[in-house]
Chain A
Amino acid sequence: MTPEFTVRLAWRNIWRQKRRTLITAGAIAVALLLSLVMRSMQEGSYSHNLDNATRFYSGYLQLQDSGFAENQSIDKLLPADQAFVERIRSIRGVTIAVPRLESFALGAAGDRSKGVMVMGVAPQAEDAYSGLAERVLKGRYFTSEDEKAVLVGGKLAEYFSLRVGDEFVLYGQGYHGTTAAGLYRVAGIIHFPNQQIDARIVYLPLKTAQALYQTGNQVSAWVLHGNAVKEIPALEKSARKQMGKDVNVRDWADISPELAQQIGLDRASGMFMILVLYGVVGFGLFATIAMMTLERRREFAVMLATGMGRAKLQVLVVLESLFIALTGVIMGLVLAFPILLWFYYHPIQLTGNLAETFEEMGFEAIMPFSLAPELFAGQILIVLTLLVICSLYPVARIFKLEVAAGLKGNL
């Protein structure tokens, strides 16, 4: 019996019970379809939203002075000169690098004062990167690199009863123990969906912030962006290599752990659903394979009696199971691919409460899909694993089959 013959025999065997084969393959197809759609939606929105959400604060990666993370001291800074920029350029995969000077200060207006988070940004580069200008609700965005103007969060403006054009004082500790004190005009009021940030944030042009804290040409962080979220590990590796020991390379998950946790939790719940789904489908597949084996014990006995090797018979049965699984996988892919492709180019637009929740997390209210090959590979791998587990049964059964008893049908 040639291998081709075995394959042809197996293919014909599964169509001896057309309906059963189709139902089993259909179950696999539907499970594959559902989990592909779900996972594609999850991964698609993670990478899309991560790309978006990280732009506002963490970036893909941040370069910081090795002592900054500990207590965000204004004394632990990185240079912002041309030589350092050149070094950043040497990191492979960096598409955008924006400087920021982040610190704390006491904000004061009129008779009130409150601790605020001060963010010095390069006006043009920052807007190009994070779209800061679009967040301005009232007033205007920065118009020059070193104007004595601030953008304040909406809730913070409310606390101080600030309006556009009002005076705002920042007072705190500058570089190496100097006093940081500055008087500014409110250029605009910005809105952040995240209320905690909205109630604390004050933006300054970078040069103004450097003058306030007397840091010279230094920054607290260089925020790096790359081509795609999945390239972050490679980017991080290259950054560590290029920047050396004195520069701390932190990824977005380190800087915004709550975002990483959110994604981790969501991903785990998706995985659990898929596990349940495949559990059900796996038993269906097993039932079919078990039946295919049990009802053909006499047939198997005849084949063994007429000289077919046990190993060959086992191969035949495994091939049959494989064909059912592959039929299911192909059906599933044929069904899923056009759907995923459609949503890949036409992401679902969220509305209502869900949209608000998304925006509050700093995400865009859309559900983009992912077409990453590893998603498909992962699902197919799961189906094939199920198959291997299920076909252990017929293989064992054939191994133990007694020819004489099988021929008589006394089993």
Chain B
Amino acid sequence: MKKSLLILFMSLMVQTGLALAETANEIVVKADLKMRGQSSYTEMTMQIIRPTWTRSMSMKAWTKDQDYSLVLVTAPAQDKGSSSLKRFKEMWNWVPNIERIIKIAPSMLGQSWMGSDFTNDDLINQSSIVVDYTHKLIKEENFDKTLCWVIEATPKPNAPVVWGKQVIWISKGEYNMRKVEYYDEFEDLINTMSTFDVKILGGRKIATRQEMLPADKPDQKTVLLFHKAQFDFDIPFEFFSQKNMRDLRI
């Protein structure tokens, strides 16, 4: 009995020790899992803010593992029913008013998603940060009064990615991505995403407001607000199909 307790204690020690020496890669994996879990469902509002106009969109998103995701637009009326589907490396858009599915060419992944400051890649291909990049811990720094690890992510050779580099701030302890800087292949800053309003949503403490700011247009941004979330539920692979993307009417 005593012996087994000792072993338990020692193994706990080892685990904590390991936890203390977490690698950058493990941190990123944890942060990604926190936001998406084995599966996730979120309801969001997107506000596109421009100097002369603003526009608001509501949507629902589902993900499963690292390879499946589906985003459905629920408002405004004219875009209602539009959806984006990602399966592994492929991406499609369903455009209800012409009743057609459009396959998004890889070269279009860096283009704006529905006119926002988020790219197709940012929104629908979030797991890319885990799969396609190598990670390096560069420092620790405060962001929004929270101590964060700052991790530099560089794309793996031949990875189908849009960015030349990403720098990510992940809060210590909570594993929330608090800030991401997106750089192009010439190391110029293109976009900065910052997250705020850490709250409990779907049983997890996550940042419920994301702001994407393009570096060269200081007077515009896109804000993503999370209203509802659910994690780690059962969802069949068939959910992420072209047929379902067309039929979704939720």
Contacts and interface: CB of A to CB of B under 8 A. Distances in A.
Interface of A: 75, 106, 108, 111-115, 169, 171, 173-174, 176-179, 181-183
B116 interface: yes
Interface stretch (B49-57, B197-205, B224-232): B49-57
Given A111-B103, A115-B107, A75 B50 contact: yes
Interface stretch (B25-33, B94-102, B129-137, B161-169): B94-102
A101 B144 CA distance: 45
B115 interface: yes
B114 A181 contact: no
Interface of A is mostly: strand
Given A113-B105, A169-B102, A177-B48, 19 more contacts: A106-B104, A106-B108, A108-B102, A108-B103, A112-B103, A169-B98, A169-B100, A173-B114, A176-B52, A177-B50, A177-B116, A178-B78, A178-B79, A179-B82, A181-B95, A181-B97, A181-B98, A182-B98, A183-B99
A131 B52 CA distance: 38
A114 B97 CA distance: 20
A114 B98 CA distance: 18
B50 A171 contact: no
B121 to A, nearest CB: 15
A183 B98 contact: yes
Nearest to A74: B115
A75 B52 contact: yes
A176 B95 contact: no
Nearest to A179: B79
Interface string B27-70: 00000000000000000000010101101000000000000000
A29 B95 CA distance: 72
Nearest to B102: A108
B112 interface: yes
Contacts of A179: 78-79, 82, 95, 114-115
Contacts of B55: 176-178
B192 interface: no
B128 interface: no
Interface in B155-213: none
Interface in B102-151: 102-105, 107-108, 111-112, 114-116
19 contacts: A106-B108, A108-B102, A108-B103, A111-B103, A113-B105, A114-B107, A115-B105, A115-B107, A115-B108, A169-B100, A171-B95, A173-B112, A173-B114, A177-B114, A178-B78, A179-B78, A179-B115, A181-B97, A183-B98
Q: Which 3 A-B pairs have the closest CB atoms?
A: A177-B115, A183-B98, A177-B55
B228 to A, nearest CB: 24
